[in-house]
Structures are given as C-alpha cells and as structure tokens.
Amino acid sequence: MTPPLLSVKDLTVRFKVRGAAPFREAAYLTAVDGVTFDVARGESLGIVGESGSGKSTTALAIARLITHHSGEVRLDGEDLLALKGGDLRRARRKFQFIFQDPYSSLNPRRRAAEIVTEPLASIGLVPKGDRRKLVDDLFEAVGLRPEQQNLFPHQFSGGQRQRIGIARALAPNPALVICDEAVSALDVAVQAQILNLLRRLQRERGLTYLFISHDLGVVQHMCDRIAVMYMGKIVEFADRLSLFNSPLHPYTCALLSAVPSVDPDRRARTKRILITGEPPSPTSPPPGCRFASRCPVAEPRCKTEPPPLREVREGHRVACHLVGDDARAPV
Amino acid sequence: MPPDPILEVKGLRVELSTRSGTVPVLDDLSFSIDAGETLAFVGESGCGKSMTALAVMGLVPHPIGRIASGSIRLAGEDLTRVPEKRMRAVRGNDVSMIFQEPMTALNPVYTAGEQIAESLRRHQDMGRRAAWEHAIEMLAAVGIPDPRGRASAYPHQMSGGQRQRVMIAMALACRPKVLIADEPTTALDVTVQAQIFELLKDLRRETGTALILITHDMGVVAEMAERMIVMYAGRKVEDGMVTDVIAEPKHPYTRGLISCVPHLAEVLTEERPDLTEVPGVVPPLTQFGRDMCLFSSRCPLADDKCWEERPPERRFGAGHVAACWHAEEVS
Amino acid sequence: MTDFATPVPPEIEQPRAPLAETTEMFLHNHAAVAGLIVLVLVVLAAIFGPSLYGVDPYEMVWAPFTPPGSEGYLLGTDYLGRDLLAGILAGARVSLTIGMAAAIMSVFIGITIGAVAGFFRGWVEEVLMRVTEFFQVLPTLLFSMVIVSLFGASLPVITVAIGLVSWTAVARITRAEFMRIRELEYVMAARASGAGNFKLIFRVVLPNALPPIIVQAALMVGTAILFEAGLSFLGLTDPNVVSWGQIIGSNRPYILDANYTVTLPGLAIFVTVLAISLVGDGLNDALNPRLRAR
C-alpha cells in the first residue's frame, strides 16, 4: 500500500477562553480533540459536522493558519506542525486553501491576475516572465476570460470570485487542496458550477481534497470518504456508500434524517430522528460520550465512559458503545 | 364557492430607482394564499423573493423603492392604499415576519420576554402583567425549556436555535393571519432546522396562520410547503402544487434549480454524474423589465422568440402555471 | 448545460482603478472641491507670493498701524510698521511647512505603532497601547512648551514637538483598522500563500487600512497649523521667523486699537484650516467603499 499523502495524528487545538478572572486558572476550549485520519493521494476526504464541531478548526490547523496545541500532521512525510518561518512558507506551496467567503477572501486592492500569482510571488517559485503564461492557463482552467485578468475583485460576481480563489490555490501546483466550506456562500446554481469545476480539476490534475462542509448533499457528491465530527471529536468515519447507506452513530443517523429532501421516496422512508436540547458547554465537556446528553438511545455508561473510535466494518470506524460487532445501528 | 384567500396579491409592480433609471424589481406578480396554507417562494438571491415579503409588510425601502401598481389585499383590505399609521397596526399584528439572522433581528438590549411583551402591549392593548405572562406562554409554545427563566435572558445568552424560536414566538404572539419566514433556517444547523420546521408545522396546524416561506432550498420546499412560486429576475416563472412542480417542472429555471443541487437520495450508488449546471448568473437590475424572457441568457432551450417577447403565464393542469415559450419541452 | 464557462455578460466592464472611482466621487462633492481650490490658492500664495510681492516682511516700511488699503499697503502695517500682507504671505510658508512636516511625522509614528500593535496583538499591543495612552493623556500644550523651552524655539524643534503630541489619533485608527482587516479572509489567504509578516503588514493590510488614515492625516495638517499658532501666540516660537501665529501673538497688545493686525492673520488660519477640513471630509466620503458601491 502506498503511504497516505496526508496523515493527521492526535491533532488537538484549544483556545484560551477570554474573560477568566485574575488568579484563576485560564479556561480552555478544546475545539479539536485528538483527531486522527489519513488522506490518500488523489482522494477527497470530507469532514462534516455542525457549527462548533471543530471541522473548520481542524482544516485551519492543518494548513498552519491557527496555532495547534499538540499532534502531528505529515504531508508527504514532512511534519507540517514542526515547520517554522521560511521553511513553513516554502512548504506552503504543497498545500493550498480555498476559503468560504468569496467576498472577503480576495484583497480588494489587487487585480485578479495579481491575486492569482500571490502564492508564486510570496514563495518566489516562478520567474516573473513565466507567470503570464501560467496566469493565462489558470484563468482558462477555472473558466475565466483572459481579458478579466486586470479587473478588481468587486467587478466579479460571487461565483467568479470563487473561481479566482480556486485559481490562486492551484497556482503553486499543490498536492493537497483544503476546501473550507468553499461553496456555502454561493447561490445554488452557482454552487453547482463550482462543484463541477472542482471535480474536473481533481480529475485533470490529480488533486487531493480535504473538503470541509456542513452540507451533507455536497459532501456526498464530492467525497470518497467522510469523517463526521461532533464537539471536536470524530464520531464516525467511513467511505461514502457505507456512511450514507448504513450510518451507525446515532448522531450521524439524526443528522442524515434531518436533511430535507426533494426525493419523495426518501421522505416517505426516513423516519426523522429529532434530537432535542443543546450541545453541552464546550469549555467543560462531559466525561463520557459528548453526544450522550442528546442521544435518544444513551445508556448510563455513555455518560461516564468515552467511547473509542474503533473499526466495526472494513473501513468503517465509529465511536459509540452501542454499536456492537455486528455493526448494526442502535437507532 | 371556495372561501376568499386570506392574502391576495394582484399585478404587483415594485420599482427601484437606481443610477441607471427606474427598474421593476417585482414585475406583474400575482398570487394568493389561504388560511393555514404554506406557500414557498424559491429562486436565487436578487430574484425578488425578499422584496415580495417587504412589499407585503409595507416595508419597501423608501425613498429608492415604491409600489408602482397592483394591489395587496389582506382579508379584503388593500394594503397598498392604507396610510402608514394603519400599516403600523397591521405589521406585527396581522402580518408578521421572521428573518434569516435571529441575532441581528432581535434587539440586543432587551430580554426575550420584554420583546415579545412589547409587541403584545402595542397591538393587543394588554397590560404589563398580562403581556409578560402571555410572553412566557409563547416561549413555552415554541418549545423553549424553562420559559419563565429564559424570558429574562438577553439574545446573546441564547443559542442560534433558541433565538430563532424567540423570533417565532414574537412573530406569532399576536396570532397573525399571515406569517412570512425569510430563509428562517439558513443560519442554523440542519438538526436545529429540523426542530424549527417541526415547530412551524405544529404552530400552523394549531393557529391556522398562513405561512409564506422564502427559501433557496428545494428540499425545504418539498418538506414544508403545499404550493410554490419560482421567482426569476423579479418575475414569477412558475407556480403550482409542490408535488406537481417538483415531479414535472414546466420552466427550465425550475428544472435547473432542482437538478443542480446534489441531493441525498434514498439509496446512494457509486454513480456520481456531474451536476446539471445553470450557467451564468441572474442578469443585472438594469435588464429587469425588458420585453423578453430574462432567463434566455442561461437557458438551453432559448430561441429568438425568447429574446424578443416576454412569455405569458400559461396553465398546465390544476393550478400549475409557467411562463415559458417552451414549457412543453422542459420535462 | 454542462458547459462550465460563464456566458459573456452583455456589457463588459472596463477595468477601472479604485483611484479613478475615488477621484470621481471626490469631484461630486462641491464643498470638498471648493476646499481644494482654496487650498491650492493658499499653497501657490505661499510658494510664489513672497517673491512676487517683493516686500520684506521683516522690514519697517511705513508708519505703524496704517490701516488696510491706505498708501498702497493692501492690508496695512503692524505695530512696528511692517507690511502685513508680506507677513501673511511669508507666514503661509512657515505655517504650511510646519503643518505638513508635523503631520507627516505623526502619521509615520502613528502608523508604525498602530500597525505593529494591531497586527501582532498580545503583549506587544499591550505595551504599545499603554505608551500611546501615556502620550494621549499628556497635556499637549504643556508638553510641547517643555520641549520648546528645553531645546530652544527653532522650527525643527517646534515641528517635532507638535508631531510628538499628535500621533496618538493615527495610532489608534491604524490599530483599529489592522485589527479589523487582519481577521478578513484575504489576509489569511495571503498567509496561506506563503506571505511573511512584513509583506502582510505593508503590502496586504496597510493599503486597505489607508483610507481613514489619509483622512486623519489631512485633518492633522490643519490641527498642526492651529497648534503652531497657539505656541507662537504664547511667544514660544522663533522670534526671527514670521508665521501666522507669531503675527497674532506679537500684535496681541494692540488688539483693541488695530484689530485688523490680529484678525487678518487669524482669518488666514481659519480659511486654510477650513479648506483642509473640507478636503479631508471629501476624501473620507470618496474613500469609503460603502458609499461608493451605491
């Protein structure tokens, strides 16, 4: 087996909670708690979860855009979390980021071509003379016209801006592209254009995607394997068909059943599992399973004993006490 | 004879004055809704969904916008002709609205209870005590645990879902005839969205309020509404029962909106074809009002006629209306 | 329908630099344009006035207290019989130079401190903001009087004194803008592209933070002119160099007998500072993208 392109081990990110009284120990919010997964070369790995699940924080920590607490992130064998200064900046060409908001992610004072070549200028990768050709190629690849290169961001529509963001990410020819809610801010019709573009680029350039989204429909369409996160932990991890056709964790089941669908068959057959209440406070998570307080089938031990993430089927891992070795969903 | 609809809009035209002249952001819009019915408005941003809501609420932005012609009859009374004083009495009492972003729509300096009670005192002539007690009942009705305690909480002390519940309690406190929900769950997680929709369904059943639901999500339409109107560039392009429209759309835009979203199917397969794209974007405001089908630039079926003449609304079976020259070729 | 390319929009927008748009916005503001015209006239008068007029402002040319208009002296003479118009023209040079130099200096200090504080946050910010607050609570006039009396009343010392007490506003504005902009995604995007801190501060954040700073800098020229006038009025200035404030200060005892000796240079200050404020205000509107979007 070939080694994975990206390997994340026990990644933990925590934030100091502001407003702690003096002389009292600072409170921490653990946004990502011991997350471990691998991404194979050329695949798309999805991370889904609701707000506060830590999915975006995971992406930002892997991309070294926020400070991590502990863990290991290896890209092509190189430990990204250990890199500093110039080494880190040079390594950035191998992993690029596509941001959620096409309006705030482009510098309003730079022309489109300058934005796209920003990674090259920063890393000093391509000599100035060759950049023109590269920009032409990138603009064509993402479906923008060459005469648009000299426009400023506000002269583009939201979808076109996201294309610029994609071209910028592709400029240094990265191996890994992290898409953090890359289509969430777009209108549905434009969203389809961007999703198709991302898939085409993946086929053509052999890209590996780490795809963060709250939209299960989009993740289902884009990703080969999917991790479901809840309050900083991965609760379920499986390949696409296994996860969507036979989800195991009660939270995943509830999440899937909550998605409104146009498919009358699906509407008729899915019984909605309504989860009630609110997630517990992230600053003092419960000792056991973090979903226990809202879980429809929780048992006493769920509240005290944290369930380990274990493999119950080939390639299907779940963190739930109630999933037996027969791999049947408890709800 | 069927009973008169609770809200009847006829030939509504709303104009906006821009730098390049006056443009119709709502162009000859007619629809009606019965008590207890749910009518969904779908379309991309900038197509006039929210403007419809504002027009019904008498909140067309002054002075750049105005109702140029048409009528909005609420239980027989034409709201386009009543003075502002009467409109203030209607707003929040007979017609009320819930917004997309519950954080900014609630006043941060008043508690949840105060904001609900305030509306009751203004419209229903209730005393301070009675209004407060009724506010607590409303909070209980929208499923907020410990309503007496939460009535004294400020918006920032609540979660997004709870804030949206407070908004709903506020909107329903005076038992309005029509409730307009403008993307009520877009800012919320899917599991919370499911809770809010269950709540809206229950409340509608109990109170007989007519619900106008503005959304971009076809899944939501399918789950929540009986009838739907598809808006494009300020015009109604399709109108009909949700089941009919989704099963057999008569306008290419409707078909595009349905098929461009990666839906969760009953059973997923390996098959993942590219999404159907609706290329391009909504035309700029300056083109609104032209005598042509405004969808022509994005339509695969468009021919010369589409570019030269606005298609009239045509009937297809019971209550199914579409404005397309090529409606027969769509599904 | 699977065509991914965006159809050509009917009107292809011409690439327009933000600068062109800003200029257009500015020209629509009549008060600002009027201010700009006045300001240009004042600057021209300061540059060419003294040599064109050709009268030495330091020389006694006529009887003291000759009222304006008489004997060919357009604005009359002061208590020593010096030509007031020559004094105001020469004073314009000094006042404008001090105003500009002090403003440039305070903008430079303010941007540096504000940018570093707003970008790095943490303890760096704490320290720098305490320093800023220290300068902010200093009684400005008193502090500059101390400097001037310590180092002598020469123009460079006065400029530095004014610059030292007026950079705090720029620092605060810069810090606020940096704190806002550094959270925007395009800054994170630049970081993800491999940009270092130096590049992030000066090439990414600063250009976007400039509009309010430019406005503040314009207004500061006016404030600095007023400040210099105040110091001169109190006699804390180089007695051998004529400036507007100095004329007012030296003629102060005779304000009742020959009020024009004080009024006319005062008017010069008023008109110039007003013109600068109008220009600053116009810049504020023109540089504000929210207004521009409409």
Q: How confident is the model over B193-210, as a mean pLDDT? A: 88
| Distance, CA of C87 to CA of C90 (rounded, Å) | 5
Kindly tell me if the per-residue pLDDT of B53 is higher than 80: yes
Any C CB within 8 A of A72 CB: no
Task: Provide the number of CB pairs (under 8 Å) joining chain B to chain C.
Answer: 25
Residue A323: partners with Cβ closer than 8 Å, 6 or more residues away: A248, A249, A312, A329, A330
In a domain, C12, yes or no: no
Q: At A229, phi and psi to the nearest 5?
A: -110, 145
In angstroms, the separation between the Cα of residue C140 and the nearest Cα of chain A is 34
The pTM (predicted TM-score) of the whole model is 0.83
Compute φ and ψ for A228, nearest 5 degrees.
Answer: -100, 125
Q: Which helix (H) or strand (E) holds B85?
A: helix B84-90
Note which residues in 11-50 of chain C have CB less than 8 A from chain A. 12-13, 15-18
How large a percentage of chain C has pLDDT more than 70?
Answer: 86
Angle at C248 between CA C242 and CA C254, to 5 degrees: 125
pLDDT (0 to 100) of residue C247: 82
Q: Cβ of A107 and C204 within 8 Å?
A: yes
Give me the pLDDT at residue A22, please. Answer: 59
- Phi, psi values for residue A95, rounded to 5°: -135, 125
pLDDT of residue C7: 38
pLDDT tops 90 at residue A15: no
For residue C183, pLDDT over 90 is answered with no
Average pLDDT over residues C118-126: 87
Segment among A170-179, A295-304, B101-110, B231-240 with least mean pLDDT: B101-110
Please report the pLDDT score of residue C293 as a whole number.
44
Whether C261 shows a pLDDT value over 80: the answer reads no
Least confident among A182-196, B246-260, C150-164: C150-164
Is it the case that residue A270 has pLDDT exceeding 50? Answer: yes
Q: Which residues of C touch A143 (CB under 8 A)?
A: 4-6
Whether CATH 2.60.120.10 fits A6-230: no
Binning pLDDT at 50, 70 and 90, where does residue C17 land? Answer: low
Is C2 a domain residue?
Answer: no
Q: Is C198 on the interface with B (CB under 8 A)?
A: no
pLDDT at A185 over 90: no
- Provide the domain limits for residue C190: 35-63+70-292
Between B212 and A330, the more confident residue is B212
Per-residue model confidence (pLDDT) at position C9: 39
Q: Can you name the residues that pair with B17 across neighbouring β-strands?
A: B22
- Which own/partner pairs from B195-198 qualify as long-range (CB within 8 Å, at least 24 positions apart)? B195/A274, B195/A276, B195/B143, B195/B161, B196/B161, B196/B164, B196/B165, B196/B168, B197/A260, B197/B223, B197/B224, B198/A272, B198/A274
Q: Which two tokens stand for residue A173?
A: 């020819």
Amino acid A19: pLDDT: 56
**C51 in B contact zone (CB under 8 Å):** no
Does A168 sit within 8 Å of C189, measured CB to CB?
A: yes
Per-residue pLDDT band for C224 (boundaries 50, 70, 90) equals: confident
CB contact C267 to A (< 8 Å): no
The residue extents of the domains of chain A are: 6-230, 244-331
Name the minimum distance, in Å, from the CA of C27 to any CA of chain A: 21
Res A95: pLDDT: 93
Does the beta-carbon distance from C1 to B274 stay under 8 Å? no
Which residues on chain B are in Cβ contact (under 8 Å) with C1? 256, 276-279, 300
Reported as a single tens digit per residue, the pLDDT across A212-231 is 999 999 999 999 999 999 99
Q: What is the pLDDT of residue C4?
A: 35
Q: How far is C5 from chain A (nearest CA, A)?
A: 5
Q: What is the mean pLDDT of chain C?
A: 80
Rounded Cα distance between A182 and A102, Å, is: 9
Give the pLDDT score at B306.
Answer: 93
Q: What confidence score (pLDDT) does residue A18 get?
A: 64
**pLDDT on residue B318:** 85
Q: How confident is the model at residue C72 (pLDDT cuts 50, 70, 90)?
A: low
> Is C10's Cβ below 8 Å from some Cβ in B?
yes
User: Is the per-residue pLDDT at A124 higher than 60?
Assistant: yes
Say if residue C294's pLDDT is above 50.
Answer: no
Residue C11: band (very low, low, confident or very high) from pLDDT cuts 50, 70, 90 = very low
ipTM rounded to 2 decimals: 0.86
Q: How many residues does chain A have?
A: 331
Which helix or strand (DSSP H or E) is residue A61 part of?
helix A55-62
Q: Which residues of C touch B276 (CB under 8 A)?
A: 1-2
pLDDT at C288: 65
List Cβ<8 Å contacts ≥24 apart for A147-151. A147/C12, A148/A112, A149/A111, A149/A112, A149/A113, A150/A111, A150/A112, A150/A113, A150/C15, A151/A111, A151/A112, A151/C13, A151/C15
**Contacting residues of C for B277, CB less than 8 Å apart:** 1-4
Give A24-80 pLDDT, tens digit per residue: 667 788 899 999 999 999 999 999 998 889 999 999 999 999 888 899 999 998 999
Q: Is pLDDT at C290 greater than 60 in this prediction? A: no
Number of domains in chain C: 1
Lowest mean pLDDT among A309-318, B270-279, C19-28, C37-46: C19-28
Q: Is the pLDDT of residue C107 over 60?
A: yes
For residues B135-149, average pLDDT: 87
CB contact under 8 A, A143 and C189: no
Phi, psi of A44 (to 5 degrees): -115, 120
Nearest to A119 by CA among C196, C177, B98, C264: C196
| pLDDT level of residue C170 (50, 70, 90 thresholds) | very high
CB spacing of C2 vs B300 below 8 angstroms: no
- Whether C7 contacts chain B with CB within 8 A: yes
Mutate to test the interface with A, among C21, C185, C214 (most CBs of A within 10 A): C185
Percent of chain B whose pLDDT exceeds 90: 46
- Answer with the residue of higher pLDDT: C229 or C113: C113
- Contact between B256 and C1 using a beta-carbon 8 Å cutoff: yes
For chain A, what is the mean pLDDT?
88
- Chain B residues touching A276 at Cβ < 8 A: 195
Least confident of B264-278, B314-328, C61-75, C139-153: C61-75
H helix intervals, B267-311: 304-308
Model pLDDT, residue C53: 77
pLDDT for C13 equals: 44
Nearest CA in chain C to A98: C189
Once rounded to an integer, what is the mean pLDDT over residues A283-289?
Answer: 86
Strand, helix or coil for residue C90? helix
> Who among C2, C5, C7 is closest to B274 (CB)?
C2
> Which pLDDT score is estimated for B8?
95
pLDDT in the model for residue A23: 62
Say if the Cβ atoms of C5 and A143 lie within 8 Å.
Answer: yes
Residue A131 clears pLDDT 90, i.e. is over it: no
Task: Tell me the one-letter amino acid at B41.
Answer: F
Residue from A15, A87, A109, A157 to probe the interface with C (highest C Cβ count within 10 Å)? A109
Percentage, residues of chain A above pLDDT 70: 96
The domain that holds C122 is classified in CATH as 1.10.3720.10
Q: Cβ B277–C4 below 8 Å, yes or no?
A: yes
Given pLDDT bands bounded at 50, 70 and 90, which one contains residue A252?
Answer: very high
* pLDDT (tens digit per residue) in C262-279: 888 888 888 888 888 888
